[in-house]
Protein backbone atom coordinates (compact mmCIF):
# COMPACT_ATOMS: atom_id res chain seq x y z
CA UNK A 1 0.00 0.00 0.00
CA UNK A 2 1.34 3.41 -1.01
CA UNK A 3 2.53 6.04 1.42
CA UNK A 4 1.03 9.52 1.06
CA UNK A 5 2.86 12.50 -0.40
CA UNK A 6 1.08 14.94 1.89
CA UNK A 7 0.99 18.29 0.13
CA UNK A 8 -1.15 19.87 2.83
CA UNK A 9 1.42 19.05 5.53
CA UNK A 10 4.42 20.18 3.48
CA UNK A 11 2.69 23.38 2.33
CA UNK A 12 2.07 24.32 5.97
CA UNK A 13 5.76 23.76 6.73
CA UNK A 14 6.78 25.98 3.80
CA UNK A 15 4.38 28.75 4.80
CA UNK A 16 5.69 28.59 8.38
CA UNK A 17 9.25 28.98 7.04
CA UNK A 18 8.19 31.96 4.92
CA UNK A 19 6.47 33.57 7.92
CA UNK A 20 9.72 33.40 9.88
CA UNK A 21 11.43 35.30 7.05
CA UNK A 22 8.64 37.87 6.87
CA UNK A 23 8.69 38.41 10.63
CA UNK A 24 12.43 39.20 10.38
CA UNK A 25 11.77 41.63 7.52
CA UNK A 26 9.11 43.48 9.50
CA UNK A 27 11.26 43.46 12.65
CA UNK A 28 13.98 45.25 10.65
CA UNK A 29 11.44 48.04 9.91
CA UNK A 30 11.05 47.14 6.24
CA UNK A 31 7.73 46.74 4.45
CA UNK A 32 6.18 43.29 4.04
CA UNK A 33 6.22 41.57 0.62
CA UNK A 34 3.20 42.54 -1.46
CA UNK A 35 1.31 40.21 -3.82
CA UNK A 36 -1.51 41.42 -6.08
CA UNK A 37 -4.10 39.19 -7.77
CA UNK A 38 -6.19 40.29 -10.75
CA UNK A 39 -9.53 38.51 -11.05
CA UNK A 40 -11.70 38.87 -14.16
CA UNK A 41 -15.36 37.81 -14.06
CA UNK A 42 -17.24 35.58 -11.62
CA UNK A 43 -15.90 32.09 -12.32
CA UNK A 44 -16.54 30.19 -9.09
CA UNK A 45 -13.35 28.13 -9.17
CA UNK A 46 -11.22 31.21 -9.94
CA UNK A 47 -12.82 33.21 -7.12
CA UNK A 48 -12.28 30.38 -4.64
CA UNK A 49 -8.64 29.99 -5.71
CA UNK A 50 -7.88 33.72 -5.49
CA UNK A 51 -9.57 33.95 -2.08
CA UNK A 52 -7.39 31.06 -0.90
CA UNK A 53 -4.29 32.93 -2.10
CA UNK A 54 -5.37 36.02 -0.16
CA UNK A 55 -5.75 33.84 2.96
CA UNK A 56 -2.27 32.38 2.38
CA UNK A 57 -0.85 35.91 2.23
CA UNK A 58 -2.44 36.71 5.59
CA UNK A 59 -0.96 33.53 7.10
CA UNK A 60 2.62 34.34 6.08
CA UNK A 61 2.39 38.08 6.78
CA UNK A 62 2.35 39.37 3.21
CA UNK A 63 0.38 42.39 2.13
CA UNK A 64 -2.15 41.32 -0.48
CA UNK A 65 -4.41 43.20 -2.87
CA UNK A 66 -7.24 41.92 -5.04
CA UNK A 67 -8.14 43.79 -8.23
CA UNK A 68 -11.50 42.80 -9.70
CA UNK A 69 -12.78 43.39 -13.23
CA UNK A 70 -16.08 42.42 -14.80
CA UNK A 71 -16.15 39.73 -17.47
CA UNK A 72 -16.73 42.49 -20.05
CA UNK A 73 -13.39 44.17 -19.33
CA UNK A 74 -11.53 45.28 -22.44
CA UNK A 75 -8.04 44.08 -23.25
CA UNK A 76 -6.75 47.66 -23.14
CA UNK A 77 -8.15 48.19 -19.60
CA UNK A 78 -6.41 45.07 -18.40
CA UNK A 79 -3.13 46.04 -20.07
CA UNK A 80 -3.35 49.48 -18.47
CA UNK A 81 -3.68 47.93 -15.00
CA UNK A 82 -0.76 45.58 -15.66
CA UNK A 83 1.44 48.50 -16.71
CA UNK A 84 0.45 50.29 -13.50
CA UNK A 85 1.43 47.28 -11.39
CA UNK A 86 4.68 46.86 -13.33
CA UNK A 87 5.66 50.40 -12.29
CA UNK A 88 4.37 50.23 -8.71
CA UNK A 89 7.41 50.00 -6.42
CA UNK A 90 5.27 48.67 -3.56
CA UNK A 91 4.22 45.57 -5.56
CA UNK A 92 6.67 42.66 -5.62
CA UNK A 93 4.64 40.21 -7.65
CA UNK A 94 1.26 39.86 -9.25
CA UNK A 95 -0.83 37.25 -10.97
CA UNK A 96 -3.63 37.38 -13.50
CA UNK A 97 -6.01 34.55 -12.71
CA UNK A 98 -6.71 32.39 -15.75
CA UNK A 99 -8.77 31.67 -17.81
CA UNK A 100 -9.64 35.08 -19.29
CA UNK A 101 -12.74 35.94 -21.33
CA UNK A 102 -12.70 35.55 -25.11
CA UNK A 103 -12.24 39.24 -25.89
CA UNK A 104 -8.88 39.24 -24.11
CA UNK A 105 -5.74 37.77 -25.70
CA UNK A 106 -4.30 35.65 -22.89
CA UNK A 107 -0.80 35.52 -24.41
CA UNK A 108 -0.70 39.31 -24.79
CA UNK A 109 -1.63 39.71 -21.13
CA UNK A 110 1.04 37.27 -19.91
CA UNK A 111 3.67 38.90 -22.13
CA UNK A 112 2.82 42.34 -20.70
CA UNK A 113 3.76 41.33 -17.14
CA UNK A 114 7.21 42.45 -16.01
CA UNK A 115 9.19 39.15 -15.78
CA UNK A 116 10.62 40.34 -12.44
CA UNK A 117 7.08 40.38 -11.01
CA UNK A 118 5.81 37.28 -12.83
CA UNK A 119 5.40 35.08 -9.75
CA UNK A 120 3.25 32.63 -11.72
CA UNK A 121 6.32 31.90 -13.88
CA UNK A 122 4.38 32.05 -17.16
CA UNK A 123 6.26 34.84 -18.98
CA UNK A 124 8.34 33.61 -21.96
CA UNK A 125 11.47 35.13 -20.40
CA UNK A 126 11.05 33.06 -17.25
CA UNK A 127 10.01 29.95 -19.19
CA UNK A 128 13.12 30.29 -21.34
CA UNK A 129 15.38 30.72 -18.32
CA UNK A 130 13.80 27.64 -16.76
CA UNK A 131 14.51 25.63 -19.92
CA UNK A 132 18.14 26.81 -19.83
CA UNK A 133 18.45 25.88 -16.13
CA UNK A 134 19.00 29.49 -15.09
CA UNK A 135 17.68 30.99 -11.85
CA UNK A 136 14.13 32.21 -12.40
CA UNK A 137 10.55 31.88 -11.21
CA UNK A 138 9.28 28.36 -11.78
CA UNK A 139 5.57 27.86 -12.56
CA UNK A 140 3.90 27.29 -9.20
CA UNK A 141 2.46 23.81 -9.79
CA UNK A 142 5.66 22.24 -11.20
CA UNK A 143 7.63 24.04 -8.46
CA UNK A 144 5.27 22.52 -5.90
CA UNK A 145 5.70 19.02 -7.31
CA UNK A 146 9.50 19.34 -7.28
CA UNK A 147 9.42 20.54 -3.69
CA UNK A 148 7.14 17.69 -2.62
CA UNK A 149 9.47 15.12 -4.22
CA UNK A 150 12.45 16.82 -2.58
CA UNK A 151 10.93 17.00 0.90
CA UNK A 152 10.04 13.29 0.78
CA UNK A 153 13.46 12.49 -0.71
CA UNK A 154 11.96 10.62 -3.68
CA UNK A 155 14.79 9.38 -5.90
CA UNK A 156 14.47 10.74 -9.44
CA UNK A 157 17.98 10.28 -10.86
CA UNK A 158 17.98 7.71 -13.65
CA UNK A 159 14.27 7.00 -13.20
CA UNK A 160 11.76 6.70 -16.03
CA UNK A 161 9.23 9.52 -15.65
CA UNK A 162 6.03 9.64 -17.71
CA UNK A 163 4.05 12.88 -17.80
CA UNK A 164 0.47 12.81 -19.04
CA UNK A 165 -0.62 16.17 -20.45
CA UNK A 166 1.39 18.86 -22.26
CA UNK A 167 -0.11 22.13 -21.03
CA UNK A 168 2.14 25.19 -20.77
CA UNK A 169 1.24 25.48 -17.09
CA UNK A 170 2.08 21.93 -15.93
CA UNK A 171 2.95 19.20 -18.42
CA UNK A 172 5.48 20.95 -20.62
CA UNK A 173 7.44 22.70 -17.84
CA UNK A 174 7.31 19.52 -15.74
CA UNK A 175 8.92 17.55 -18.57
CA UNK A 176 11.78 20.08 -18.69
CA UNK A 177 12.28 20.17 -14.94
CA UNK A 178 12.28 16.39 -14.43
CA UNK A 179 15.03 16.11 -17.04
CA UNK A 180 17.22 18.92 -15.65
CA UNK A 181 20.63 18.32 -14.06
CA UNK A 182 19.51 18.68 -10.46
CA UNK A 183 17.49 17.06 -7.72
CA UNK A 184 14.68 16.44 -8.33
CA UNK A 185 15.55 15.79 -11.95
CA UNK A 186 17.98 13.70 -13.99
CA UNK A 187 15.06 11.50 -15.05
CA UNK A 188 14.44 10.01 -18.48
CA UNK A 189 11.24 11.81 -19.41
CA UNK A 190 8.41 10.78 -21.75
CA UNK A 191 5.76 13.44 -22.39
CA UNK A 192 2.46 11.88 -23.44
CA UNK A 193 -0.71 13.62 -24.59
CA UNK A 194 -4.03 13.17 -26.41
CA UNK A 195 -2.33 11.93 -29.59
CA UNK A 196 -0.12 9.39 -27.83
CA UNK A 197 -1.08 5.87 -28.87
CA UNK A 198 -1.57 3.43 -25.99
CA UNK A 199 -0.48 5.59 -23.04
CA UNK A 200 -0.65 2.46 -20.88
CA UNK A 201 2.38 1.10 -22.74
CA UNK A 202 4.41 3.97 -21.26
CA UNK A 203 2.86 4.21 -17.79
CA UNK A 204 3.39 0.48 -17.11
CA UNK A 205 7.16 0.97 -17.43
CA UNK A 206 7.36 4.27 -15.50
CA UNK A 207 9.00 4.69 -12.12
CA UNK A 208 7.23 8.06 -11.76
CA UNK A 209 3.90 9.07 -13.32
CA UNK A 210 2.76 12.71 -13.21
CA UNK A 211 -0.71 13.23 -14.62
CA UNK A 212 -2.31 16.60 -15.43
CA UNK A 213 -5.27 15.77 -17.66
CA UNK A 214 -8.42 16.85 -15.87
CA UNK A 215 -9.94 13.44 -16.66
CA UNK A 216 -11.36 11.88 -13.45
CA UNK A 217 -9.99 8.44 -12.50
CA UNK A 218 -8.14 8.11 -15.82
CA UNK A 219 -5.06 6.34 -14.43
CA UNK A 220 -6.01 2.88 -13.15
CA UNK A 221 -3.98 0.47 -11.06
CA UNK A 222 -3.48 -1.90 -13.98
CA UNK A 223 -1.78 0.93 -15.88
CA UNK A 224 1.15 1.27 -13.45
CA UNK A 225 3.91 -1.00 -12.20
CA UNK A 226 4.48 -2.07 -8.62
CA UNK A 227 6.34 0.56 -6.61
CA UNK A 228 5.68 3.49 -8.94
CA UNK A 229 5.47 7.05 -7.59
CA UNK A 230 2.18 8.69 -8.63
CA UNK A 231 1.63 12.46 -8.69
CA UNK A 232 -1.92 13.55 -9.44
CA UNK A 233 -2.31 17.16 -10.62
CA UNK A 234 -5.87 16.78 -11.90
CA UNK A 235 -8.85 18.05 -9.95
CA UNK A 236 -12.37 17.91 -11.35
CA UNK A 237 -15.81 18.43 -9.83
CA UNK A 238 -17.87 15.29 -10.38
CA UNK A 239 -21.61 15.47 -9.77
CA UNK A 240 -23.12 13.08 -7.23
CA UNK A 241 -26.02 12.77 -4.77
CA UNK A 242 -24.18 14.16 -1.75
CA UNK A 243 -25.41 17.29 0.09
CA UNK A 244 -22.75 19.27 -1.81
CA UNK A 245 -23.90 17.83 -5.10
CA UNK A 246 -20.37 16.96 -6.19
CA UNK A 247 -17.03 15.54 -5.10
CA UNK A 248 -13.48 16.42 -6.15
CA UNK A 249 -11.73 13.78 -8.22
CA UNK A 250 -8.18 13.55 -9.47
CA UNK A 251 -6.89 11.99 -12.68
CA UNK A 252 -5.86 8.93 -10.66
CA UNK A 253 -8.14 6.11 -9.58
CA UNK A 254 -6.76 6.42 -6.08
CA UNK A 255 -7.66 3.07 -4.50
CA UNK A 256 -6.44 0.84 -7.33
CA UNK A 257 -3.22 2.85 -7.83
CA UNK A 258 -2.49 3.16 -4.10
CA UNK A 259 -2.60 -0.64 -3.84
CA UNK A 260 0.43 -0.87 -6.19
CA UNK A 261 2.31 2.43 -5.84
CA UNK A 262 5.07 3.22 -3.35
CA UNK A 263 4.06 6.88 -2.99
CA UNK A 264 0.95 8.75 -4.14
CA UNK A 265 -0.57 12.23 -3.83
CA UNK A 266 -4.19 12.49 -2.65
CA UNK A 267 -6.86 14.73 -4.19
CA UNK A 268 -7.56 17.04 -2.50
CA UNK A 269 -4.58 17.66 -0.22
CA UNK A 270 -1.74 16.79 -2.58
CA UNK A 271 -0.51 19.10 -5.34
CA UNK A 272 -3.10 21.88 -4.84
CA UNK A 273 -1.82 23.21 -1.50
CA UNK A 274 1.75 23.01 -2.82
CA UNK A 275 0.86 25.21 -5.80
CA UNK A 276 -0.39 27.94 -3.49
CA UNK A 277 2.62 27.62 -1.17
CA UNK A 278 5.03 28.02 -4.07
CA UNK A 279 3.26 31.19 -5.17
CA UNK A 280 4.13 32.54 -1.71
CA UNK A 281 7.70 31.27 -2.20
CA UNK A 282 8.01 33.01 -5.57
CA UNK A 283 6.69 36.24 -4.05
CA UNK A 284 9.30 36.36 -1.32
CA UNK A 285 11.98 35.55 -3.91
CA UNK A 286 10.69 38.52 -5.95
CA UNK A 287 10.80 40.70 -2.84
CA UNK A 288 14.37 39.72 -1.98
CA UNK A 289 15.63 40.28 -5.53
CA UNK A 290 13.74 43.55 -6.11
CA UNK A 291 15.89 46.61 -6.84
CA UNK A 292 13.42 48.60 -4.72
CA UNK A 293 14.48 46.81 -1.53
CA UNK A 294 18.22 47.39 -1.77
Question: DSSP states of 188-217 as a string?
Answer: EEEEE-TT-S-HHHHHTT-SEEEE----TT
**Residues carrying an active site annotation:** 53, 97, 120
Question: DSSP states of the chain as a string?
Answer: -PEE--HHHHHHHHHHHHHHHHHHHHHTTPPPPEEEEEEES--HHHHHHHHHHHHHHHHHT-EEEEEEE-TT--HHHHHHHHHHHHH-TT--EEEEPSP--TTS-HHHHHHHS-GGGBTT--SHHHHHHHHTT-S-PPPHHHHHHHHHHHHTT---TT-EEEEE---TTTHHHHHHHHTSSSSS---EEEEE-TT-S-HHHHHTT-SEEEE----TT-B-GGGS-TT-EEEE---EEEE-SSSSSEEEE-SB-HHHHHTT-SEE--SSSSHHHHHHHHHHHHHHHHHHH-GGG-
Amino acid sequence: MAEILDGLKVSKEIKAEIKVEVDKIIASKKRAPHLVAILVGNNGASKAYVNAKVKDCEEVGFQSSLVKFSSTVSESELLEKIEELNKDKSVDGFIVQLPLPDQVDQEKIINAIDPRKDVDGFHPTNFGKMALEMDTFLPATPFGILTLLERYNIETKGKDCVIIGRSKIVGRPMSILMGRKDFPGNSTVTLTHSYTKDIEEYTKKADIVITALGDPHFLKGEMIKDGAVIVDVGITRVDNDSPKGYYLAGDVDFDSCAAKASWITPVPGGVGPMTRAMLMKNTIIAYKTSVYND
